[in-house]
Amino acid sequence: MNDNDKQQDPGNGGGNPWMRSLMIWVGILLALALFVTMFGGERAGQTGNSIPYSTFLDRVEEGQVRQVNVSPTTITGELTNSERFRTNTPNDPQLIQRLRERGVVINARPEEGPNIWMVLLYQSLPFLLFLGIAFFVLRQMQKGGGGGGAMGFGKSRAKLLTQKEGKVTFDDVAGIDEAREELEEVVEFLKDPTKFARLGGKIPKGALLVGSPGTGKTLLARAIAGEAGVPFFTISGSDFVEMFVGVGASRVRDMFEQAKKSAPCIVFIDEIDAVGRHRGAGLGNGNDEREQTLNQLLVEMDGFEANEGIIIVAATNRPDVLDPALLRPGRFDRQVVVPRPDIEGRIKILEVHMKKVPLAPDVDARVIARGTPGFSGADLANLVNEAALMAARKSKRLVAMQEFEEAKDKVMMGAERRSMVMTDDEKRMTAYHEAGHAIVSIHEPASDPIHKATIIPRGRALGMVMRLPERDSYSYHRDKMYANLAVAMGGRVAEELIFGYDKVSSGASGDIQYATGLARDMITKWGMSDKVGPVEYAQPEGESFLGYSSAQPRHMSNETAQLIDAEIRATVEGGLARARQLLTDHIDQLHTLAGALLEYETLSGDEIKRLIAGEELERPDPGSGLKPVASAGTSIPKTRRPKGPFGSPQPA
């Protein structure tokens, strides 16, 4: 059914809604005009100026009254100057005699009873007017078919998606090839079901998209809508939930009724965890609104009456809270994981978004992709947008690699705070702190290469050292963890070596927090302590919903807890000792790098290597903080925020 058919279909409301509303308002205005006209006609019959009865008697005595019309309630008449008048009739027995003595023409009129039809009309017209307005308001509240009116609580709020503009296809989805292939098969089944039916294959009832926020679940659903060529209904899980019991179940039934009329079709439920949470974990008994809605959804998806040709595609980033009955085969036959993209996926995503941006020749999507591990599709789209905004702010016609580097730093670390005033002592301590991290990182073989070091404040950080993994890593080895501990302690050790024990600042609080957390995970989660052994002692991290937890805490004795604390301290102090040894052995390099940071404020990884090798740096404007040409690599910050309580570097 196309859009023109929908507009002409009487089942969709019949006629033009605007004309129907106009006709209702015209009818109301005509009724008001009739009401005013009827009362105006009654008043028109009572012509003449109203005068007091005493004035009327004076005019009679003066001979100014030509004729009168006497009725039981009023007296109307005409003066000698042809002026009309009227007055009320009192109980005056001498009035007729006075009029005869003055030669006034007297016309007697009997009292006319009210017209019964007019009385009925007068009394019923306000009631009819009220009914008309009420009927109009109720119709307006029920219009639209979305259940938004007072009388439409049970109507489904699913919208039939039409993409005349901004149509999304699978060509716009990149970086999640496995998930795309799973859904491409669903679309192919809808286009040619006989291809699969020949071998006894049945169309899947549902597909659940699972992934972190921003990974492209909704984009995949829009691509299905653009590729399938069948009706596509979209609704949010929260649209089923209301304060009235039974409303959500009614909306589920109505949604499937609409889908049956358009089968084969696809129904997309976004954030299904709003309605599909584990039953029995809520407050009260099992008859609450959310559980009734979930029960109805389970029945409609795979109940006694099969709904053929309706495919449910749902998305959530909380699969752990979903009811097991919702995930069984026959309901959501496929659970499609939409992961964060790897480096090749990030390159493809960047290329999709870069098509809309005029790029300079020096822009390399691979360099940017290597510098953004862990970024989701939404993060990369935001990165490209920030780079375009920065280029526009500088009145450039093309977006260059410099803008992408600045945008990446802004997204990951916050905007530069060049207006922040730091004393020379604070800048000097920050420079040595960051130089300490960098020197330890350079001389630790298992550490990631340095990408950038800066003492320009960004966000909450007063300075930062960024290290770059050479490739995406999915597991980490013991030697790299010990190297990370040494690098984290390098800033504190540098402060102590240069400024003395009493001058150590609070800038290493974040580093200590990171090192302690890493050491705790090594001992309690990953079994990397010979004294504690390969036993898991960490507190559970399972999701908890109103007291329900998917994991139970492991109880330990006081002796074991003391042993774990001692091992954590020994592990962190081992990193501290390793950093002290490296910085003591390379104290000259520490002074050289700290001096360069004070002069240039920002150094790239290549420039740091040249300084350590004794080479000279060439900068056109040493004090400008000019961005160096970025080296190829990724840019996950391993040691950052040397000042303040929020300086914890992020673990790999």
Kindly state whether residues 483 and 571 are assigned to the same domain. Answer: yes
Kindly state whether residues 357 and 265 are assigned to the same domain. Answer: no
Q: 639 falls in which pLDDT band (50, 70, 90)? A: very low
In the chain, the percentage of residues whose pLDDT exceeds 70 is: 73
What was the pLDDT predicted at 518?
92
284 vs 512, residue with greater confidence: 512
Kindly state whether residues 502 and 596 are assigned to the same domain. Answer: yes
CATH at 526: 1.20.58.760
Q: Is 567 a catalytic residue?
A: no
Kindly state whether residues 34 and 122 are assigned to the same domain. Answer: yes
**Average model confidence (pLDDT) across the chain:** 75
What was the pLDDT predicted at 281?
59
What was the pLDDT predicted at 164?
54
Residue 572 lies in a domain: yes
Catalytic hit among 291, 434, 601, 607: 434
Q: 642 falls in which pLDDT band (50, 70, 90)? A: very low
Given a cut of 90, whether residue 539 has pLDDT beyond it is no
What was the pLDDT predicted at 240?
76
Q: 134 falls in which pLDDT band (50, 70, 90)? A: confident
Task: Please check if 212 is assigned to a binding site.
Answer: yes
Kindly state whether residues 485 and 502 are assigned to the same domain. Answer: yes
Task: Please check if 433 is assigned to a binding site.
Answer: yes
Residue 201 lies in a domain: yes
Backbone angles phi, psi at 645, to 5 degrees: -80, -5
Kindly state whether residues 169 and 95 are assigned to the same domain. Answer: no
Task: Please check if 333 is assigned to a binding site.
Answer: no
Task: Please check if 147 is assigned to a binding site.
Answer: no
Task: Please check if 437 is assigned to a binding site.
Answer: yes
pLDDT mean over 360-387: 87
pLDDT, tens digit, for every residue of 314-331?
888 888 888 888 888 878
Backbone angles phi, psi at 464, to 5 degrees: -165, 145
Task: Please check if 373 is assigned to a binding site.
Answer: no
CATH at 93: 3.30.720.210
Kindly state whether residues 38 and 50 are assigned to the same domain. Answer: no
Backbone angles phi, psi at 359, to 5 degrees: -105, 145
Residue 299 lies in a domain: yes
Residue 324 lies in a domain: yes
Q: 635 falls in which pLDDT band (50, 70, 90)? A: very low
Three-class SS of residue 465? strand
Kindly state whether residues 384 and 488 are assigned to the same domain. Answer: no
pTM > 0.85: no
Kindly state whether residues 28 and 74 are assigned to the same domain. Answer: no
Structural domains of the chain, count: 5
Task: Please check if 6 is assigned to a binding site.
Answer: no
Given a cut of 50, whether residue 624 has pLDDT beyond it is no
Residue 418 lies in a domain: no
Asked whether 94 and 133 are in contact (CB, 8 A), the reply is no
Kindly state whether residues 312 and 405 are assigned to the same domain. Answer: no
Residue 91 lies in a domain: yes
pLDDT mean over 460-471: 72
- Residue after which a domain boundary falls, among 309, 337, 365: 337
What was the pLDDT predicted at 489?
92
pLDDT mean over 331-343: 84
pLDDT, tens digit, for every residue of 25-48?
777 777 666 666 655 544 444 556
Kindly state whether residues 216 and 306 are assigned to the same domain. Answer: yes
What was the pLDDT predicted at 384?
92
Residue 571 lies in a domain: yes
Separation of alpha carbons 197 and 44, rounded Å: 83
Kindly state whether residues 326 and 264 are assigned to the same domain. Answer: yes
DSSP 517: H
What was the pLDDT predicted at 641?
32
Three-class SS of residue 98? helix
Q: Residue 618: enclosing H or E segment and its boundaries?
A: none
Residue 203 lies in a domain: yes
Region of poorest pLDDT, from 499-508, 599-608, 618-627: 618-627
- Residue after which a domain boundary falls, among 319, 337, 355: 337
CATH at 168: 3.40.50.300
CATH at 372: 1.10.8.60
Region of poorest pLDDT, from 223-227, 245-249, 587-591: 245-249
565 vs 56, residue with greater confidence: 565
Rounded to 5°, angle at Cα 471 from 466 and 476: 85
Q: What residues make up the domain containing 52?
A: 46-108
Q: 243 falls in which pLDDT band (50, 70, 90)? A: low
